[in-house]
Amino acid sequence: MNDSKRKGLNSFIHSDSSDSILSAYQEDRPFYCEDLSSSISDLTQIPFLKSLDTMLDNWSDEVHVHLPDAADEASAIKTNSKEARKLFRNGMGVRFSEVNKKSPKLDSWLQSIKEDFGFSKMTYARSIVYATPANKGNAPHFDQNYNIVIQLTGNKKWWIAPNTTVANPLTRHVIGLETDPELASYTRQEFPKEMPEGAQEFTLKAGSVLFVPRGHWHMTHANEDSLALNLTFSAPTYLDTLTAALRGRLAQSPHWRESIDGLNSEEGFHIAAHKFNLLLAELKEDVKTWEAEGILAATEFAE
Ligand SMILES: [Fe+2]
């Protein structure tokens, strides 16, 4: 089979070592290949991905421009392509969201990769293009999603380190910025104040591929103007799937849909708590009959 005709995760196999993104995913470690250009040319040759200029020329939606204060997408403004071009020349990063919506080919790759990972049908898969000016980059952070980075043009450095503070985070976190309250609730230790020591270093040039596992710390620095295509996957967790199923089930009942009131008096509080306990007693009985197969069948195979 001609490699260039392959689609999906099978294209991301290191030609020298046979290492693959799928193995890296299973072992919760990065995957890097300096040059995978021949096996992913189907993607990298999508015309508008050729350069920042072709991206801007073909993009009529808003783009996000990263402001210089935080070196992170948490601090960004939305603007048009014309303004973005100027701001890039002034040293600011530009982000194009959901680029897959502009290219059926790109979208079909995303869907194939999502299936190859075995992720849920409910997974939010998208592709983002990042333009980073020379000598700029991203502050150390981790994301709650999996990320495949395909370098399109320019030379960019990445550093990746395992996250020993929290496993399977549900939200991203940037060192030096505020911690999401839910993330803080299940993080027992303090986050590091800077990129952890011993991070692996990777240099990406046109055709290089890097897989960043969910939750791993990473930071970047563009050695020259850089354009990269990211394929990101936010796959539902067991928690997400149970929560969605529970809500779907309980929403069928007018009693569960009732607004809680009376909480401003002692008597009202007890009445509300009594009603709530009756509903919980019913739920406990109901939950005993639940099977994972039934929940997954409802979320994955329902039309
Ligand atoms: Fe990131």
| Residue range 142-194, pLDDT digits in tens | 999 999 999 999 999 999 999 999 999 999 999 988 999 999 999 989 999 99
Which residue among 236, 259, 274 closes a domain? 236
CA distances from 175 to 50, 113, 141, 195 (A): 33, 30, 6, 8
Structure tokens, 110: 């995303």
Q: Quick one: pLDDT at residue 69?
A: 73
pLDDT of residue 7: 79
Task: Kindly indicate the confidence band of residue 91, based on its pLDDT and cuts at 50, 70 and 90.
Answer: very high
Whether 118 shows a pLDDT value over 90: the answer reads: yes
Residue 22's Cβ-side half-sphere holds a number of Cα atoms within 13 Å equal to 15
* CATH number of the domain within which 66 lies: 2.60.120.650
> 258 and 137 in one domain?
no
Structure tokens that stand for 216 in this block:
């791993």
Q: 218: CA distance to ligand 1 center in Å?
A: 7
CA of 122 to the centre of ligand 1 (A): 21
pLDDT 10s digits, 22-63: 999 999 999 999 999 999 999 999 999 999 999 999 999 999
Half-sphere exposure of 221 (CA within 13 A, CB side): 5
Query: Which residue range forms the structural domain that includes residue 155?
Result: 3-236
Last residue of a domain, one of 236, 253, 269: 236
- For ligand 1, the distance from its centroid to the CA atom of residue 292, given in whole angstroms, is 32
> What's the confidence (pLDDT) of residue 1?
41
**Pairwise CA distance, residues 290 & 294, whole Å:** 7
Query: Ligand 1 centroid to 193 CA: how many Å?
Result: 17
Q: How many domains, the chain?
A: 2
Is 151 found in the same domain as 286?
Answer: no
Identify whether residues 43 and 63 lie together within a single domain: yes
CA gap 20, 23 in Å, rounded = 5
Residue finishing a domain among 207, 236, 265: 236
Q: Residues with Cβ < 8 Å from 63, sequence gap 6 or more?
A: 56, 78, 79, 80, 81, 84, 94, 95, 96
Cα(141) to centroid(ligand 1), Å: 6
| Ligand 1 centroid distance, CA of 115 (Å) | 22
> Given a cut of 70, is residue 6 above it in pLDDT?
no
Same domain assignment for residues 119 and 265: no
Same domain (yes/no): 180, 225: yes
Q: How confident is residue 15, by pLDDT bands cut at 50, 70 and 90?
A: confident
Ligand 1 centre distance from Cα of residue 220 (Å)? 9
Q: Is the pLDDT of residue 121 over 70?
A: yes
Is the model's pLDDT at 119 over the cut of 50?
A: yes
Q: What is the pLDDT of residue 216?
A: 98
Summarised one tens digit per residue, pLDDT across range 78-89 is: 999 999 999 999
From ligand 1's centre to the CA of 52, what distance in Å? 20
